[in-house]
Amino acid sequence: MSFSTPPLIAPPKEDVIYPYRRVWRSLIQETIITVGICGVTFVVYQFIGLNLPELVESGFVLILALLPLILWILFSRFAETRVPVPRVGLNTTLGLSALAAAAIGVPLVNTVIQPSDWLSLESAPTRIFGYMLTAGIVQEFIKFMVVRYVSGPRALRIREDSIAYCIASAVGYMTVLNLFYVFNHPAAGPDMVSLRVLHYMSINVAGSLIMSYGIAQTWFGRVSPLLMPFTLLAAAFINGLVIPLRSGLANASLLLSGASASPLFSVAFSSGIVFVAIGLVLFFYRVVEEQERISRESGSLT
């Protein structure tokens, strides 16, 4: 007579289907492709000297200006249709941000405040704070208002929703900035347009990510009511910091040894800013989610 113990097998783990679109994946994909296309375009035009027919080049420049929007539609908007619980109101957020940028933000900064006219000869700290308190705050505040009052509290179900709506707003705003640049500078070639697209993407994505963290924490965490204003301040500061630094790299500065410009550094700088911003904000999101998980498991979170 033999006796065999029943095998101790753990019950099969149920597959939990994540019902929402994974925002970080889409954002990183869009960013890498934008940086890749703009970087290659810049190198090809600056160092190889590609010459395309004028009509083709005009079309290419327009595609470059619309590149962030095209990639957002492909990787974020279409992806929403393939998940069980899609986010609603993303199109409205993007559209209204673009309209607000075209109707308020860009005219207010470029025509009324004109920071480039009176900050160009100031010292570096004055330029940083000048751009922060004018272009930076206008841009970030408009995007915040659209996200806050268009997507609103009902749309925010999980922390990542805040990122999704803030990035939609950023894409709308940067698309308008890109189009304004292309139409106001018809002589600008694809290399210069790709530099500008990268620049606008870096300040908008970095600013919106920081702002999204403030919104998410205010909605889902137990934080001070001053956190959201602080993130607005930080987002505007990033704008104020990046605009003069990038201009210093992209434009020739007059030295005793002659005029020198470092547009390639400008590409690296804009790319670095956006990747550092993604990395930092992703880290902060992971930290608070981990803290909440630990608190929930220890029973201290009610």
Rule CB under 8 A: which residues touch another protein?
18-20, 113, 115, 117-122, 126, 129-130, 132-134, 137-138, 140-141, 144-145, 148, 153-154, 156-159, 218-220, 223-229, 232-233, 236, 289, 292-293
**Which CB, 69 or 228, lies closer to another protein?**
228
Classify 189 as helix, strand or coil: coil
∠242-263-276 over CA atoms, to 5°? Answer: 40
Report, in Å, the least distance between residue 212 CB and another protein: 13
In the chain, the amino acid numbered 171 is V
Say how far apart CA 212 and CA 241 lie, in whole Å. 19
Give 78 or 296: the residue with its C-beta nearer to another protein: 296
Cβ atoms of residues 101 and 177 within 8 Å: yes
* Beta carbon of residue 176, minimum distance to another protein (angstroms, whole number): 19
Closest distance between another protein and the C-beta of residue 229, in Å?
A: 4
Give the residue with the Cβ less far from another protein, 22 or 91: 22
Enumerate long-range contacts of 57-63, CB under 8 Å, 24 or more apart: 57/189, 57/190, 60/190, 61/182, 61/188, 61/189, 61/190, 61/193, 62/182
CA–CA separation, 209 and 163 (whole Å): 6
Minimum Å gap between C-beta 268 and another protein is: 29
For residues 129 and 166, the answer to whether their CB atoms sit within 8 Å is no
Helix 54-72 × helix 23-43 angle, to 10°? 160
- CB of residue 11 vs another protein: minimum separation in angstroms? 21
* Number of residues assigned to the chain: 302
Q: Least distance to another protein from the beta carbon of 153, Å?
A: 6
Its sign, for the CA torsion 172, 32, 272, 63, is negative
> Nearer to another protein by C-beta: 3 or 18?
18
CB of 55 to another protein, least distance (A): 28
Q: 53 or 153, CB closer to another protein?
A: 153
Residues 6+ positions from 195 with CB-CB distance below 8 Å: 38, 42, 250, 263, 266, 267, 270
Structure token pair of residue 19: 């019902």
